[in-house]
Structure 1
Amino acid sequence: MTPVSTSPAARRSAFTQPERPRDLQIRYLTVGGSYVDVTPAANKRLGSRWHCHGCKAVSEFPDTDYLSRIREKANDHAGSCRAIPLT
């Protein structure tokens, strides 16, 4: 009997990516196999926001976080979020 792989790559392959928003800037893959999307905030001239498809967490200050700062926050969340996609 062949053992079942429990590597992160094997877990990730079981999930499909959610639809990509038209204004998607960056998409990160989480530890749990979900995705964190970075998109422009409501005030598209200044801010960016992130949204986790796994645990549903979002940016705290999307209208004031520039892409250069939000990128690090989204990546940090993706590196620690273990929630799996529900859809």
Structure 2
Amino acid sequence: MSTAVRASAFTEPTRPKGLLIRFVTTGGSYVDVTGHGEHFDNNSWNCLGCGDSSRSPEKDYLFRIRPDANNHATACRAIPLT
């Protein structure tokens, strides 16, 4: 059984303002990292599949948010509902 992520069979949703990174989840949804960028502490992530997100009111520097968003995308099996 392969665990490789395949290209999503779903339509990519509209990209939000301030999108810095978009990860594809194992289930074919997306995790968006948004904010003002590398040198700002107001970045956060949100999963469009299961609805999980960075812990409120946690907003942080990109180098701290990125690994959490990537780890979530790797583990999340939720599929887009739209």
TM-score tier, shorter chain, comes to 0.7 to 0.9
The reply on whether 1:79 has 2:74 as its aligned counterpart is yes
Aligned to 1:68: 63
* Paired-residue identity, %: 55
Aligned to 2:12: 17
Map residues 19-38 of structure 1 onto 2, 5 A cutoff.
19-38=14-33
- TM-score normalised by the chain length of structure 1: 0.77
Provide runs of 4+ in structure 1 moved above 2 Å: 7-10
Structure (1 or 2) with the greater helix fraction:
1
Q: How many residues align?
A: 75
Shift of 1:72: 0.3
Counterpart CA distance in 2 for 1:23 and 1:8 is: 25
Shift of 1:9: 2.4
Shift of 1:8: 4.7
- The answer (yes or no) to whether the contact 2:29–2:78 under 8 Å persists in 1 is yes
1:15–1:62 Cα change, 3 Å: same
Structure 1: state its 5+ residue gaps. 1-6
Kindly provide the CA deviation profile for residues 1-55 of structure 1, in whole angstroms up to 9, marking residues without a partner as x. Answer: xxxxxx8526x2x2011100121000000000000000018xxx42210000000
- TM-score normalised by the chain length of structure 2: 0.81
Shift of 1:62: 3.0
